[in-house]
């Protein structure tokens, strides 16, 4: 018996199914899946620059006959939607499993989209576990099914599955040989002449899968009191068993395609039938489309965010446990850039410039929060570069604030590159700051093409960022130490003063990469309580609310020295 998170369980299940190759781009809550898979014997695993590349590499490996695991967070499925929809036509050779880890409640994401819509739209079946044992079982079973139905399989997790550890009865790895590959353009070359017959194959396959799910053991009915029947899947199933263990439950392990006849029969067998799901109406709509007339809860479930046992109790009109009130005087505790984060000062300077800052996805999105408050937009991976171009286009010819895009090194490799190609190609202007901290920090310090570290520590090539930018034809490229306030200020000032494209690489390693610490700083008696150092938003610097005098916590201070450069009175010194 092992005690595994859902992510670890999926990796283990895939490994036992003989999966040979893993590809991924890290993203919370999916990241540990590929990290775990990479540590298992006799597998090859790699980080790819983005999810589209990851799925395409996986499809190549599958076509060649290997069993493959591809993992990503929910928004990654948007990035690989293009190959996904056509992979449904080509099908597979070696089995392929794609993990989409959703984030209802948005603990670490920009939206709470439901990956099951992708399964339905691309006609790719999707499995949905409700604990780590099922995550393991389903992942392991998916490979045989993928090969049997000749289609990639998806497995949907949510943050409560991916990041909850539960007991798992594991087994042995099955040694599965790589299947032989034979040239077959009618299967693999999706031009119209071949895609049209493959479309017919898809139609037939969907019919076969609809038959399969009617009796598939992953779907099950747990009979309770027949006055209430609830249809559900995933973590919500566990919440239902907690809140109302007495009701009848139709627990789905496959959420596309749905077992239409079995669902109608279940609905007939109970007085009232409900769907419980979170952050989406996917399942309710899909169950209705099967011909089930759903009853409405007296108190509707929350339409957004997670559903918890208390929401289900409330909807069923059942009592909630008594509890104390939350005190009203507890200050918020938002996350913040780490003490010593090398890119803090850049945001301070951007705020000073009163720039319009198009931001991106990563730790540095925290530059949007007070007191730095130096970000105007964040949309998706790579959008900082392309949205900056859009701002420049719309504001052209008017007196406008400088437009500056801010993007991390891994995000730039993910999709900033193609955005920058567009800006260069269309002679766009503006300033792009690449905050190069030598890692993919937010998701836990993974390798990427610009730090040359690979998932299994294989030899790699660290891409030369300035050389790439120059080769692209960027007008002005500079590399600046972001801990040097004067250099940051001067470079930004020069860049925004001209109507040309500037890319500034602010290069300094993430503070979490090094355990070594410079001597800390302290505030001496020269402090005039001006508050400038506090405006850096460093968790090590605090101000006395009454006097305004500041102090530095030596436990938290990492000795980066950014604050010292902002003190006009020489009141901050190094110990």
Partner 1 sequence: MFMSESQTYTILLCGVGGQGTITAADLLARVASAAGKCCKVSEIHGMAQRGGAVTTVVRFGDKVSTMVCDEGCANNIVSFEITEALRNLAFLAEDGVLVVNDEEIKPLPVLTGKASMPAHARERLVEMGATLIPAGALAREAGTAKCANVVLLGALAPSLPFEFKIWEDVIRENVPPKTIDINIEAFRLGVAYAQGE
Task: Point out which residues bind partner 1 (CB under 8 A).
Answer: 3, 28-29, 31, 107-108, 131, 159-160, 163-167, 235, 238-239, 241-243, 245, 306, 308-310, 320-327, 329-338, 363, 366, 369-371, 442-444, 531, 534-535, 537, 539, 541-545, 548
Q: At what angle do helices 81-90 and 51-63 cross, to 10 degrees?
A: 20
Q: How far is the CB of 505 from partner 1 (least distance, A)?
A: 23
Q: Which is nearer to partner 1, 366 or 404 (CB)?
A: 366
Q: How far is the CB of 101 from partner 1 (least distance, A)?
A: 11
Q: Which is nearer to partner 1, 325 or 399 (CB)?
A: 325
Q: Which is nearer to partner 1, 326 or 461 (CB)?
A: 326
Q: The tokens of 12 are what?
A: 């283990």
**3-state class of 156 per DSSP?**
strand
d(CA 116, CA 257): 10
Q: Which is nearer to partner 1, 300 or 335 (CB)?
A: 335
- Report CA torsion sign: 332, 334, 337, 340: positive
Q: Which is nearer to partner 1, 157 or 423 (CB)?
A: 157
Per DSSP, the residues of 430-443 read EEEEEEE-SSBTTT
CB proximity list for 257: less than 8 A, separation 6 or greater: 125, 206, 209, 210, 213
Q: How far is the CB of 309 from partner 1 (least distance, A)?
A: 5
Q: How far is the CB of 328 from partner 1 (least distance, A)?
A: 9
Q: How far is the CB of 78 from partner 1 (least distance, A)?
A: 18
Per DSSP, the residues of 414-467 read IIIHHHHHHHHHTT--EEEEEEE-SSBTTTTSB--TTTT--TT--------HHH
Answer whether 266's CB lies under 8 Å from 229's CB. Answer: yes
Q: Which is nearer to partner 1, 88 or 166 (CB)?
A: 166
CB proximity list for 506: less than 8 A, separation 6 or greater: 342, 343, 346, 433, 434, 435, 436, 480, 481, 482, 488
Q: Which is nearer to partner 1, 132 or 491 (CB)?
A: 132
Q: Which is nearer to partner 1, 258 or 536 (CB)?
A: 536
d(CA 371, CA 351): 10
Q: How far is the CB of 239 from partner 1 (least distance, A)?
A: 5
d(CA 15, CA 9): 10
Q: The tokens of 119 are what?
A: 């399964």
d(CA 534, CA 514): 25
Per DSSP, the residues of 235-256 read HHHHHHHHH-TTEEEEEESEEE
Q: The tokens of 510 are what?
A: 């993430």
Q: How far is the CB of 479 from partner 1 (least distance, A)?
A: 26
Q: Which is nearer to partner 1, 108 or 460 (CB)?
A: 108
Q: The tokens of 335 are what?
A: 């996350």
Q: How far is the CB of 332 from partner 1 (least distance, A)?
A: 6
d(CA 106, CA 108): 5
Q: Which is nearer to partner 1, 479 or 512 (CB)?
A: 512
Q: How far is the CB of 107 from partner 1 (least distance, A)?
A: 5
Detail the DSSP E strand segments found in 489-554.
501-507, 521-523, 541-543, 550-552
Q: The tokens of 397 are what?
A: 């010819």
Q: How far is the CB of 258 from partner 1 (least distance, A)?
A: 24
Greatest extent of the chain over all pairs of C-alpha atoms, in Å: 81
Q: Which is nearer to partner 1, 93 or 115 (CB)?
A: 115
Q: How far is the CB of 539 from partner 1 (least distance, A)?
A: 6
d(CA 67, CA 77): 20
């Amino acid at each position: 018996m092992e005690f595994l998170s859902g992510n670890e369980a999926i990796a283990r299940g895939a490994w036992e199914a003989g999966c040979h190759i893993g590809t991924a781009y890290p993203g919370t809550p999916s990241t540990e899946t590929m990290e775990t898979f990479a540590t298992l014997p006799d597998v090859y695993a790699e980080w790819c620059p983005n999810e589209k590349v990851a799925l395409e590499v996986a499809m190549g490996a599958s076509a060649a006959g290997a069993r493959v695991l591809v993992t990503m967070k929910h928004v990654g499925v948007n990035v690989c939607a293009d190959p996904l929809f056509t992979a449904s036509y080509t099908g597979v050779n070696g089995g392929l499993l794609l993990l989409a880890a959703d984030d209802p409640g948005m603990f670490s994401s920009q939206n709470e989209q439901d990956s099951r819509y992708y399964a339905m739209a691309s006609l790719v079946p999707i499995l949905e576990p409700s604990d780590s044992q099922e995550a393991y079982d389903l992942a392991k079973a998916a490979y045989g099914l993928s090969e049997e139905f000749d289609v990639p399989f998806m497995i949907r997790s949510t943050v409560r599955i991916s990041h909850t550890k539960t007991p798992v009865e594991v087994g042995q790895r099955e040694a599965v040989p790589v299947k032989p590959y034979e040239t077959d353009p009618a299967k693999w070359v999706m031009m119209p002449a071949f895609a049209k017959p493959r479309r017919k194959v898809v139609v037939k396959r969907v019919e076969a899968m609809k038959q399969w799910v009617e009796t598939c053991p992953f779907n099950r009915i747990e009979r309770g009191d027949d006055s209430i029947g609830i249809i559900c899947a995933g973590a919500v199933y566990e919440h239902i068993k907690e809140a109302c263990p007495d009701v009848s439950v139709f627990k789905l392990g496959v959420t596309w395609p749905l077992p239409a006849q079995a669902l109608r029969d279940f609905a007939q067998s109970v007085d009232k039938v409900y769907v419980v799901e979170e952050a989406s109406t996917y399942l309710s709509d899909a169950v209705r489309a099967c011909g089930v007339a759903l009853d409405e809860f007296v108190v509707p479930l929350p339409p957004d965010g997670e559903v918890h046992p208390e929401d289900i109790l409330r909807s069923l009109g059942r009592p909630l446990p008594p509890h104390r009130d939350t005190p009203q005087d507890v200050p918020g505790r938002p996350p913040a850039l780490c003490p010593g984060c090398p890119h803090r000062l850049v945001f301070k300077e951007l705020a000073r410039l009163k720039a319009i800052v198009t931001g991106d996805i990563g730790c540095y999105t925290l530059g949007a929060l007070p007191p730095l408050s130096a970000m105007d937009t964040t949309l998706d991976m790579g959008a900082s570069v392309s949205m900056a171009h859009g701002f420049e286009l719309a504001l052209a010819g008017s007196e406008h604030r400088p437009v500056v895009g801010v993007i991390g090194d891994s995000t730039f490799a993910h999709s900033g590159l193609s955005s920058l190609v567009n800006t260069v190609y269309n002679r766009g202007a503006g300033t792009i700051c690449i905050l190069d901290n030598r890692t993919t920090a937010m998701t836990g310090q993974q390798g990427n093409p610009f730090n040359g570290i690979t998932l299994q520590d294989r030899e790699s090539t660290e891409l030369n960022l300035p050389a790439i930018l120059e080769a692209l034809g960027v007008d002005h490229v500079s590399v600046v130490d972001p801990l040097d306030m004067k250099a940051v200020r001067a470079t930004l000032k020069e860049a925004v003063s001209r109507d040309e494209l500037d890319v500034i690489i602010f290069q300094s390693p993430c503070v979490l990469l090094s355990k070594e610490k410079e001597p800390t700083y302290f505030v001496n008696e020269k402090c005039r309580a001006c508050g400038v150092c506090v405006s850096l938003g460093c968790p090590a610097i605090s101000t006395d609310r009454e006097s305004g005098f500041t102090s530095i916590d030596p436990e938290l201070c990492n000795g980066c020295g950014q604050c010292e450069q902002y003190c006009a009175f020489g009141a901050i010194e190094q110990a």
